[in-house]
Amino acid sequence: MPDQLDLMQGTLDMLILKAVSLGPLHGYGVLLRIQQISGEQLAIQQGSLYPALFRLEHQGLLATEWGESDNKRKAKFYRLTPAGRRQFRAEAHRWNCMTTLMAGILSTTPEEV
Amino acid sequence: MPILARLRSFTNSFLHRTQRESEIAAELRSHIQLRADDLERSGLSPTEALRLARIEFGGIETHKVNIRASLGLRLLDELRADLRYATRMLRRSPGFTAVAIASLALGIGSTTAMFSLIYAVILHPFPYAGADRIVNPSVTDEAHPQVPTWFALTPAQFDIFRHAKAIDSVLGFELGGLQTTGGNLPEDVRAAYITGNASTFLGVPALLGRELLPSDSAQGSNQSNVIVLNYDYWRSKYDGDAKIIGKTLQLNHIDYTIVGVMPRRFTFTETVGLADVYIPWTAARAPGLLPWIKLKPGVTLAAANAEFQSYLDQFKKETPKHFPANFHVNVQPIVAPYVHRTGPILTLLFISVLLLPIVGCANCSVLLLARGEARQHELAIRSAIGASRNRIIRQLLVESLTISFAGAFLGAIAAYWLAKLPLQLMPGTFPLEAAITVNLPILAFAIALALATGLLFRLAPALRISRPNVSQIMQASVADHSNSTSKRGLNLLIAGQVALTLVLLGAAGAAIAGFLKITVVHLGYDPHDVMAIGIPLKRDTTKNRPARTAYINQLRERVAAVPGVVSVAVSAKGIPPSPPFNGAGSQAPFDIFGAQQQPQQLAATLLISPEYFAILRIPLLAGRVWDQAENRHGDFVAVINRTLAQRYWPKGDAVGHQLRVPSLKDDGQSLSVASPQSGEWRQIIGVVADSKNDGLEKRVAPEIYVPYTTFMWDRTQLFVRTAAPPLASLHAIRSALASANPDQRTETDVAVLDDVLQYQPVWTQQRLFSILFSFFACLALILSLVGIASTVSFAVSRRSNELGIRMALGAERSHIVWIVVKTAFVAVAAGVTSGLLINLTLQKALHHWMPASVTAPWILAAVTLLLLVSAAFACLLPARRAANIDPIQTLRAQ
């Protein structure tokens, strides 16, 4: 199981970084943003969101700030730090390379071998 | 950056835990609120929306735990909880805690003390810069390869030698005896002439003023009349006067300006002889230089030896007398002589002291196992409500580590005092520059020991009791679930403890018996109220033997006239019970007239005046002692001791035979003067009784006494017997010597023969062994007894129910006591048996490490008896409680 979990974790981190890179968000907002940009295809487990957010903050990739939400509620907002932005670009690049590679491999036909 | 950020966030969450907690809670609440707002907008009532949001989100506490786990804080949280729980558990049973901590503190304390001693003496004894690279200028004389000899260089050679490739820098020094002048009585001052680079070479800053500088040694300058004082000399002669700098000290009629005082740890060059003062070296002051060599980093001793050999071979051609006939270079680190002298002692003590923490650990294990029975119930409950085995083991280990660290803390404090004990018990054996302090390596050692002991004494019990058979234990009553494996473990531990204790007791017994043997040894001479005063004589190159004889005799007569002095004798070398030391060794070959030279025909030769026998009260057995005329003449007469007479003339007819000692022949050295036929045949005119002359622990060696005038060096000794304790007359004696010659100095250290006995290496060493081994053995014994007593007492409380029933059915009290004591008794018996076996196998090794010890069956019997009797008490005291059990009470309690 750990392999799968690691992969999932890495993916979640990247999704969070992407969501936050579009503008500062509170935790619930991150959840909504990911649902929205994935075309409602991805639903993030509420239980795994906060550990991931705290971990990213702990790693210095996210910075936090208490502020007011749209509907005047007090909420903690996350935004990308420069290190977070660098990390996100690197991750995204690696992800793209990987998917191209995987797509190439998977579409290989017997004649091409 | 991320690492730093992570660290910051980590410490933040660790230190500001509550603040962090409430922030997390606030964020989670706000999340639920935002979700509820959304749900409300979709048409739900506010209460319904909030309820649904909460359900969707799940337990806030679970989220918090997950968050903390994701930050890697969970382990810390758990450890903190474990620690809190452990302290609570330990506080609840203070008796157990105190005994456990004390057991470990004793073991860790003594071991740490011994380690700090080893650290100070062998690993880090000197305050000098790069001390591990400094080597003595030692060479091995092929003729006498046992003891390395040192070589000296001329200033020209020193300059050449300095440039050897292996050498980083060289310090040159020479020791000399000076005397204070311009005061009342001349006093002996030991001076070290050191080259100008001393301050950079040794790298020890002065305590007051400054060190000697290169400019002080500049040729022909007047500035060279400066002097730096040794700490002890400054304390004793100037009472530690802080305003000493700038004052003058007159030595041999030359005024020196005091420019500095060295700190206490600086006792250069105590490897060859202590110095009171340090004076810049110039060629005029000292003709030669002993080099202290600091090798370049990374240069091996072998490489240095190889390079120096060619230098020294060249030097030997220039100054043949500075080197042995055949030699090879064998430089040694400056610590080598100490390692050689104290290494075996420290190894033996360290090995035996290591037994203490082991016994202490065994004790803790015993306590924990015995108590573990009582804790089965608690652990079963914890395991039943979901604690994993790892978690329980961790909890138990945290508990034991808490005990160990408390023990280590107390132990380290105790170690600080304990470490000084051997230094006080064995003065003169350890480098004076060694400072015993509690420092980082030693603390690290104590902590490592604490960790090791904590794991050691806890792991076995933890593994066992962490796997409780839940259903069985939960069903059974609290008191009744002992099983055979735990009993076997307990018995093994007790037996092991007892065995180790017996080993230490055996060693202590052997050490004490050895010491007693030395203290009650028959000396053969009477040391009371006798002292030996060393008298350096002026170097007399004319070799005028009658004048030197007359001068020594004059000194002797002056001292004899001092009130309170009973009689005075001359003895050129050696102070009993040590052998007289003559360059090549204590004993030399001799020939008997008309007999074949036998192998190992050796005897010690003592150069004395005829009063010597009367002063030491050595009885004359046959013949006579030479008279004053024969004494002046020196040749043709000799007196021998009983051992020599019996070995070669068993029929008792030694007197009248002739022998000769070739080593008494004139050696042509400028320092010595011999009578014309000193190495020729001498008639044995008397036989005296044996007296110790080869160390306290060894048998009396064959000895030949000849008149001191037959061979004289630039130093002699007066043996003075006084009516009162001898040191009281010392001042009067020194005045008398000064009245004979105002410039005649005496050596500072006067040997009072009674005290000399207590400075014998074997005496101090054996006393150290006796005291430390007794100390170790006592600690081990106490620990074992506590272990035995606690098993029995736990057995009593665990089985009180059963015992109550037995009593109700009519069992005798003695029978009840026997039931309880039986298991412990079997363990003790097994321990004693194996302890005796170990002792017997170790006897040879013990004798090797501690040569003066006495290993005899009666000693083992005595210590075994001691152990058995005290073990019986340890069993019976708690067992008496079993006999006093009231059957009604215990049965009702169930």
Residue A107 has pLDDT above 50, yes or no: yes
Query: Which alpha helices (DSSP H) does B544-695 contain, by range?
Result: 545-560, 612-615, 628-633, 642-648
Say yes or no for a CB contact (<8 Å) between A61 and B56: no
Per-residue model confidence (pLDDT) at position A3:
37
Is a pLDDT exceeding 50 seen at residue B584? no
Strand partners, B176: B191
Whole-number percent of chain B with pLDDT over 90: 15
Is B67 at the interface with chain A, CB within 8 A?
yes
Residues of B in contact with A33 (CB under 8 A): none
Percent of chain B at pLDDT exceeding 70: 88
What local confidence, expressed as pLDDT, does residue B471 receive? Answer: 62
pLDDT (tens digit per residue) in B119-146: 777 777 778 888 888 888 888 887 767 6
Q: How much is the pLDDT for B612?
A: 94
Measured between its terminal Cα atoms, the distance across chain A in Å is 32
Average pLDDT across chain B, whole number: 82
Residues of chain A with C-beta less than 8 angstroms from the C-beta of B28: 50
What is the torsional sign of CA B94, B99, B103, B105?
positive
In the A/B pair of chains, how many CB contacts fall below 8 A? 75
> Which among A50, A61, A76 is the nearest to B67, CB-wise?
A50
Tokens at residue B619, please? 């009885």
For B685-715, b/e burial (b = at least 16 CB within 10 A) is bbbbbbbbbbbbbeebbbbbbbbbbbbbebe
> Residue A1: what pLDDT?
32
Q: What residues in B contact A50, CB-CB < 8 Å?
A: 24, 27-28, 31, 63, 66-67
Domain residue ranges in chain A: 2-108
Check if B70 contacts A (Cβ < 8 Å): yes
State phi, psi for B145 to the nearest 5 degrees: -75, -10
Using a CB–CB cutoff of 8 Å, tell me whether B547 touches chain A. no
Q: How confident is the model at residue B638 (pLDDT cuts 50, 70, 90)?
A: very high
Residues of A in contact with B63 (CB under 8 A): 47, 50-51
Separation between Cα atoms, residue B763 and residue B696, nearest integer Å = 8
Q: Which residue of chain B has the CA closest to A27?
A: B31
Answer whether A70 touches B (CB < 8 Å). no
Find the range with the poorest average confidence among B23-32, B337-346, B355-364, B468-477.
B468-477
Mean pLDDT of B576-597: 74
CB contact under 8 A, B66 and A73: no
pLDDT of residue B687: 95
Chain A partners of B5 at a C-beta cutoff of 8 Å? 58-60, 83
Check whether the bond before B726 is cis (ω within 30° of 0).
no
Measure CB to CB from residue A51 to each of B30, B57, B66 and give the nearest one.
B66
Give the pLDDT confidence score for residue B485 in this predicted structure: 59
Give pLDDT tens digits for B5-63: 666 666 666 666 677 778 888 888 888 888 888 888 888 888 888 888 888 888 777 87
Asked if residue B269 has a cis previous peptide bond (ω within 30° of 0), the answer is: yes
In this model, does residue A67 exceed pLDDT 90? no
Q: Categorize the per-residue pLDDT at B529 as very low, low, confident or very high, splitting at 50, 70 and 90.
A: very high
A28 with B57: Cβ contact below 8 A: no
Average pLDDT rounded to a whole number, residues B713-734: 89
| B-proximal residues of A, 40-69, CB under 8 Å | 46-48, 50-52, 54-55, 57-61, 69
User: Could you say which of A47, A58, A69 has the minimum Cβ distance to residue B63?
Assistant: A47
Instruction: Spell out which residues of chain A touch residue B23, defining contact as CB-CB under 8 Å.
Output: 76
Q: Which residues of A touch B56 (CB under 8 A)?
A: 46
User: Is B160 part of the contact surface with chain A (CB cutoff 8 Å)?
Assistant: no
CA–CA separation, A68 vs A76, rounded Å? Answer: 8
Report the residue of A58, A59, A66, A88 to disrupt the B interface, i.e. the one with the largest count of B CBs within 10 Å: A58
Identify which has the larger pLDDT, B893 or B710: B710
A69, B66: Cβ pair inside 8 Å? no
Per-residue pLDDT reduced to its tens digit, B457-511: 677 666 666 666 666 665 555 444 455 556 777 788 888 889 988 988 988 888 8
Of A52, A60, A71, the CB nearest to B1: A60
Q: Give the global pTM.
A: 0.67
Is residue B440 scored above 80 in pLDDT?
no
How distant is the Cα of A107 from the closest Cα of chain B, in angstroms? 38
Q: Where are the domains of chain B?
A: 2-72, 131-334, 341-520+763-893, 530-723
Q: Does A71 touch chain B (CB under 8 A)?
A: yes
Residues A51, B67: C-beta atoms closer than 8 Å: yes
B493 in Cβ contact with B788 (< 8 Å): no
Which chain B residues are within 8 Å of A60, Cβ to Cβ?
Answer: 1-2, 4-6, 9
Q: Over the range B616-628, which residues count as b (16 or more CB within 10 Å of their CB) and which as e?
A: bebeebbbebbee
Residue B613, pLDDT score: 94
The answer to whether the CB atoms of A54 and B62 lie below 8 A apart is no
Geometric angle at alpha carbon B765, from B848 and B748, rounded to 5°: 135
Residue B38 CA to residue B42 CA, distance in Å, equals 7
Architecture of domain A2-108: Orthogonal Bundle (1.10)
Q: Which chain A residues in 84-113 lie under 8 Å from chain B, judged by CB atoms?
A: none
Give yes or no for B10 touching A (CB within 8 A).
Answer: yes
Q: What ipTM was reported for this prediction?
A: 0.82
| Minimal-distance CA residue of chain A relative to B63 | A47
pLDDT tens string B612-624: 999 999 999 999 9
Q: Which residues of B touch A76 (CB under 8 A)?
A: 23, 26-27, 30
Which residues neighbour B142 within 8 Å (Cβ) at sequence distance 6 or greater?
A: B324, B325, B326, B327, B328
Contacts of B30 in chain A (CB under 8 A): 26-28, 69, 73-76
pLDDT at A6: 41
pLDDT score at B6: 63
